[in-house]
């Protein structure tokens, strides 16, 4: 049970005024505190293995992802089972109901690091496709992209949480 700070139906005296000032000063100190949030990039990854493929190759979509908030896809890494004989094409496409943006890359080694810098909005979709060139067989692919959310969404969340804590504190002292 909460202990009331002031007893009901009591006169306002100097002691009570000093107590009110003390509570307000304490609340003011709490509102000046800052909160920091560290936003780390999120890995978006997939691995596909085509075990049992004879004379065929993996192809088509190798990664799909939908974004819940604004951000940027920064780096990507691709690893194949072996060096492609005649290369392979990797296409990273961001799309939604109104626009589509794509970046294409040719992979001629077993491993490829790529810089994408693709901006995304809530509801945007990422689709990465693999198209082996003629004479190239790809039996396995590992793929990963780093996505960093825009900090504005996180800052808004932190501010909302601070306001909730202040409201809870105010309720406690009533």
Mean pLDDT of 85-95: 91
Clarify whether residues 162 and 135 are in a common domain. no
pLDDT tens for 28-76 read 766 655 556 667 788 999 998 876 555 566 668 899 999 988 899 988 8
Clarify whether residues 124 and 50 are in a common domain. yes
Clarify whether residues 124 and 107 are in a common domain. yes
In which domain, by residue range, is 124 found?
Answer: 42-151
What is the dihedral sign for C-alpha 78, 79, 81, 83?
A: positive
Clarify whether residues 97 and 158 are in a common domain. no
Query: 1 pLDDT band (50/70/90 cuts)?
Result: very low
pLDDT tens for 119-155 read 899 999 999 998 888 888 888 999 999 998 886 655 5
CATH number at residue 138: 2.60.120.230
Alpha carbons 110 and 80: distance in angstroms, whole number: 5
Clarify whether residues 90 and 144 are in a common domain. yes
Among 106, 64, 101, which Cα is nearest to 89's?
A: 106
């Amino acid at each position: 049970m909460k202990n009331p700070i002031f007893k009901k139906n009591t006169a306002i005296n100097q002691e009570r005024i000093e107590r009110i000032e003390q509570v307000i000063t304490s609340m003011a100190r709490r509102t000046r505190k800052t909160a920091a949030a560290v936003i780390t990039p999120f890995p978006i990854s997939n691995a596909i293995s085509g075990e049992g493929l004879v004379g065929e190759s993996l192809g088509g979509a190798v990664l799909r992802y939908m974004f819940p908030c604004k951000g940027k896809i920064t780096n990507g890494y691709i690893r194949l089972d072996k060096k492609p004989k005649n290369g392979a094409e990797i296409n990273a496409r961001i799309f939604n109901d109104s626009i589509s943006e794509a970046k294409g890359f040719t992979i001629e080694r077993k491993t490829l690091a790529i810089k994408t810098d693709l901006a995304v909005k809530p509801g945007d979709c990422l689709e990465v496709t693999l198209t082996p060139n003629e004479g190239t067989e790809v039996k396995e692919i590992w793929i990963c992209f780093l996505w960093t959310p825009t900090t504005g969404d996180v800052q808004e969340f932190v501010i909302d949480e601070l306001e909730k804590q202040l409201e809870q504190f105010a309720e406690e002292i009533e």
